[in-house]
Structure 1
Amino acid sequence: MFVENQIEVCALGQHIAMSAHKARRVIDQIRGRSYEETLMILELMPYRACYPILKLVYSAGANASYSMGSNEANLIISKAEVNEGTTVKKLKPRARGRSYPIKRPTCHITIEVRDLSIPKYEPRDFLKYEPRDYLTLTLQMRRILI
């Protein structure tokens, strides 16, 4: 089931039981790298955050090969972000009938994968527009390239 004109595919992991700060430490290392290089880096890093991120990168690669029919050698991690999720709040019983609050943070991780073999824009897109002046031409070109 190939989708036309799709160049990016994402994988989303929600409610991962980990601080967003700890997951960002790993995500910053893989952003912008190739798919195969990312897998090697994640398998060798000694952090607990690597395992759920590795599963998401595998999932994004599988999504890309299924929906776009792309080869995994042509994939790069175009966007990787970590957002804070809900915080599970519990009370831990302490001495003399007291209790201390415990916060268990969660995070949401998004990995977007882009295929380099598919061009980001087609040259004929520039021919659709008839700009009146130079300013509108640059604005329209900027809109297409972004």
Structure 2
Amino acid sequence: SASGKYISLSADKARRVIDQIRGRSYEETLMILELMPYRACYPLLKLVYSAAANASYNMGSTETNLVISKAEVNDGIFVKKFKPRARGRSYPIKRPTCHITIAV
């Protein structure tokens, strides 16, 4: 398994992609993630590569028979910034983050 913490991405947007790869094989997952046009695909692709490398190193399994058994997204913290506005005011900007866990 592999986990990514504090990924600068909304959890809802990551879930849209995670739901497509849950329960699929490793090769099919790589093909789906490389062809989908969403920004969430790149960090998920890195996590899937990492989970497959962990499985082959720790358990000695080959990458051809790996299946994504668990894929979940949890909300992280909001990174708070302030944007300067007119007349000396400032508006808060909340950048969402998420924690992603993938097990093969």
- The aligned counterpart of 2:39 is 48
CA shift, 1:99, in A, is 1.0
Q: Relative CO higher for 1 or 2, CA cutoff 8 Å, sep ≥ 6?
A: 2
- Give the counterpart letter for 2:14 in structure 1: A
- The aligned counterpart of 2:61 is 70
Identity of aligned residues (%): 83
- The aligned counterpart of 2:22 is 31
Structure 1: 5+ residue runs without aligned partners? 1-9, 114-146
Q: What is the total number of aligned residue pairs between the two structures? A: 104
Higher gyration radius (CA): 1
Structure 2: 5+ residue runs without aligned partners? none
CA shift, 1:53, in A, is 0.1
In 2, Cα distance between the equivalents of 1:77 and 1:59? Answer: 12
Aligned alpha-carbon RMSD (Å) = 0.5
TM-score normalised over the length of structure 2: 0.98
- The aligned counterpart of 1:99 is 90
CA shift, 1:91, in A, is 1.1
Which of 72, 77, 86 lines up with 1:81 in the alignment? Answer: 72
In 2, Cα distance between the equivalents of 1:56 and 1:91? Answer: 31
- Give the counterpart letter for 1:47 in structure 2: Y
TM-score normalised over the length of structure 1: 0.70
In 2, Cα distance between the equivalents of 1:44 and 1:66? Answer: 27
List structure 1 segments (4+ residues) > 6 angstroms apart after TM superposition: none
Q: Deviations over 1:15-47 (max 9, x none)?
A: 100100110000000000001100000000000
Question: Helix, strand or coil: the match of 2:37?
Answer: coil
